[in-house]
Each structure stands twice: as structure tokens, then as C-alpha cells.
Amino acid sequence: MREKAEIFKRRVEKFQRLLKENEIDGAVIRTLSTFIYFTGTKWLRPSLLIPAEGEPVVIVAKGEKELFMQRSWIENVKEFQKTEDLMAMVTMWIAKNGYSTIGMEFSIERDAYILFYELFKKLNPGVQIEDIRHLSMQLRMIKDDWELGNIRKAGKNAVKGMEVAMEEIKPGKSELEMAAEIYRELMLNGSEDPKVYVSATPRAHAEPFRDVRVEKGRFVTVVIGADYNHYYANLTRSFFIGEPNERAKNAIEAMEEVHKIALEKTLPGVTFSRVERDIAAVYREKGLQEYYITGYTHGVGLLIEEDPITTIVVPHRAMKAREGMALAMVHAPLMVPEGAVKKEDTVILGKKVENVTPFEASVFL
């Protein structure tokens, strides 16, 4: 992504202004998604140091510098030979510059681990640590045109994955066998870190089991998170296998209605909890409220689930939808005994709502 250097540079400058406004001397970025946001490339064990003023620094393992510099615009790249050297380099950067307040992201993702956090505190005893997750997310929540282009491509990829899913779902097949073919399809189309959940039993989020198989009289739910240039789009469909009973039919109808409400009503300026109330009303009306999980939408971008996360971060439910957001909805499944019923698309909020994962097919297999 070197050719996009200007985009990434501007992001760092905006972020530095936020650091200054919040009286934070520098940020230690260890989460992959924010690392990509600023550097333009993924890397295993992300280590990016952004001072409130001055040049950002990236630390990579011995021998990796050349490729990293081909993929990122950042020029201040250091190599470490032992893990303990990496930690020492961070500590030295803080000490040498005399920083007293350091920002770190208290995130829900890979590398935001308690171990590193506690170790950092031990190595930098005088330094105050501030959670800056909201600062990076404040920028990341609103996508620019290049990001939206990536999300559209990811959406097309997700649709291809769902087409493979429909071919694969058959009584007797295991969740894992179906997932294997979907993963392959997504990767062959350029998805570097796809997430595929397949559930033939009622599970809210289902990492596939090798010994759970498709049975008649149940739903199979396929959740696809496809990425392109590290940006995700999510697409979920539930298929009923065989002849549905009344409760299954009722659940399908309710999910269709709720999906329609979500996509029509989640417009820039509208509070998420406002739409959530309308959704709850539909479930109540249909006598399904006991199967309902709160939190109908969340952002997508460099993470499959990012701010606004009305699903698990309660205060986000009071936020307003904004232009430039990319949102997955309906995220929360209806957990009836026949399975997890869910219809989820990824939409971009512009002047209009644009569905980037259009997929129409019968839910009856």
C-alpha cells in the first residue's frame, strides 16, 4: 500500500492531533487493525510507536525490514533479534523522549493481551497509561472512499463464499467440511484472513465442529466475514433443511421483517437504540421475545466487528448512525430451538443505504 502513502500519513497526523488534545505524549500501538490503519500493511506482532510530535517508528523482527519497507510508507523501521530487545526498544523510546503519559488501546482483539500490558507496566513504572482505543476508533469509524472500495470488494467475495455454502449444505455433512470449502473459495478470491462460522445447531456464533452434522428439521446458519486489503464485509444467511414447523416459519418471517426495518431505518442521524426498539417490537408481536438477543448492528472495517459495537458495548447503543459508516445488520440471531436464525448484510451509509452483500436465495434447502 505504499502507493497510498498520503492517505496513511494524513491518518497519523490526525491521530497526533488527537494525542496532543488529550495530553498524551505518544502511543504504543500493538493491535493489528490499528497498525494496518496507520502503516498500510499487516505484520505479525505489530509494534508501532506514534509520538504526539515527530516521526512514527515501527519495530520488526531481524531480516523483515526490507519487505516491510516495500509494503509501508513508514521509513523509521528498526529490527530486533530477541523478544526482550523489542520490549527494551519501546522502553528506551519512552525514556529517551521523556514521555510521561503513553496511550495504549484496551481492545478486544489479537495482541491486546493482558500479559503485554502488565509487562509494559512493570518495565515503565513511572509512566501513566491511558486507554486510547476511542481515539483510533473515532477516526476508523468513518470510512474514506478507498476504504469503502475495499469493503465493496470484500462484499463481492462474501457473496461468492455464500454461493459455495449453498452448494455444500446437505444432510450428513459436517459443519467443518462445509467451512473448508467456503474458506478455500474466499482465499482463492483474495481474502487473507476470512472468518467462517457454520452452525447446524443453535449457537450464537459458531466455530465449526467436525462432528456436528446437518440434520433435517433444523437451520444451518452460515456467517461469512470476507476481507479485501484487510477490510471486511459480513454476510449471514440461515437455511432451513426440510419441512419447517410453525415456529421456524414464524422465526424466518420475523427475521425478514427485522432485516428490512434495520436496513430502512438505520440512516445517518438516527440513534441505534431507536431502531433496536422497533426490532424488539416485531419480536414481541410475534411472540419471539424470549429468543431475542439485543444488539442488532456493529461496524465493520479493519475488524470483522468494530465501533459502533451495539452488540457488546452497551454505551454504543446510544450513538447515532453517521454517513461514512459501514455497518453489518442484523447481527443478533433469533435463537429458536431449531437453530440460530439470522439474516445479515453489510451496508454503507451514504446519502443512500448501499447493501454491499446482496444475496437473494430461498431459505429452504
Could you list the residues that contact a copy of itself (CB under 8 A)?
A: 42, 44-45, 61-64, 66-67, 81-84, 104-110, 112-118, 131, 133, 176-177, 179-181, 183-184, 187-188, 190, 192-193, 201-210, 291-295, 311-312, 314, 335-337, 340
Distances (CA, A) of 210 to 61, 213, 225: 36, 8, 20
Distances (CA, A) of 110 to 71, 160, 170, 191, 198: 21, 27, 34, 18, 22
Question: Residue 114 or 362: which CB sits closer to a copy of itself?
Answer: 114
Burial 28-62 (b: 16+ CB within 10 A, else e): bbbbbbbbbbbbbbbbebbbbbbbbeeebbbbbbe
- Written as one letter, the residue type at 230 is H
Question: Residue 3 or 360: which CB sits closer to a copy of itself?
Answer: 3
Residue 63, exposed/middle/buried by CB under 10 A (0-12, 13-18, 19+)? exposed
Min separation Cβ 261 and a copy of itself, Å = 20
Question: Residue 117 or 149: which CB sits closer to a copy of itself?
Answer: 117
| Pairing verdict, β 326-329 and 101-104 | unpaired
Question: Residue 85 or 354: which CB sits closer to a copy of itself?
Answer: 85
- Are the beta carbons of 24 and 101 closer than 8 angstroms? yes
Min separation Cβ 161 and a copy of itself, Å = 12
As a whole number of angstroms, the distance between CA 281 and CA 291 comes to 13
Min separation Cβ 117 and a copy of itself, Å = 5
Residue 310, phi then psi, degrees to nearest 5: -70, -15
Min separation Cβ 188 and a copy of itself, Å = 5
Min separation Cβ 209 and a copy of itself, Å = 7
Residue whose C-alpha is closest to residue 195's, from 168, 240, 158, 169: 158
Question: Residue 52 or 196: which CB sits closer to a copy of itself?
Answer: 196
Question: Residue 215 or 354: which CB sits closer to a copy of itself?
Answer: 215
- Are the beta carbons of 356 and 348 closer than 8 angstroms? yes
Min separation Cβ 86 and a copy of itself, Å = 9
